[in-house]
Amino acid sequence: MLDRYHLVPTFRSSTIRRFTVNASEMKKLAAHDFENLLQCSIPVFEGLFNEPHNTRLMKLLY
């Protein structure tokens, strides 16, 4: 899972920037960093768990 956030492509230079290789080690996060992590969480967590947990998680994140 550590690489999944890093694999998410950027969206313009000022909207969502590239994440570090290990997003869990990000330090001194600002509100926009948390917002970006949440906005990119669906493709990052999709398929990570077996069913029915994956479906429940996707509903929770959406």
Q: Which domain holds residue 12?
A: 4-20+27-61
Confidence class of residue 1 from pLDDT cuts 50, 70 and 90?
low
State the total domains in the chain: 1
Residue 35's contacts (CB-CB under 8 Å, 6 or more residues apart) are none
Interatomic CA distance for residues 20 and 32, integer angstroms: 15
What is the structure's pLDDT at 50? 95
Q: What is the pLDDT of residues 7-62, one digit of tens each?
A: 777 777 667 777 766 667 777 778 877 888 888 888 888 888 999 999 999 998 88
What is the structure's pLDDT at 40? 83
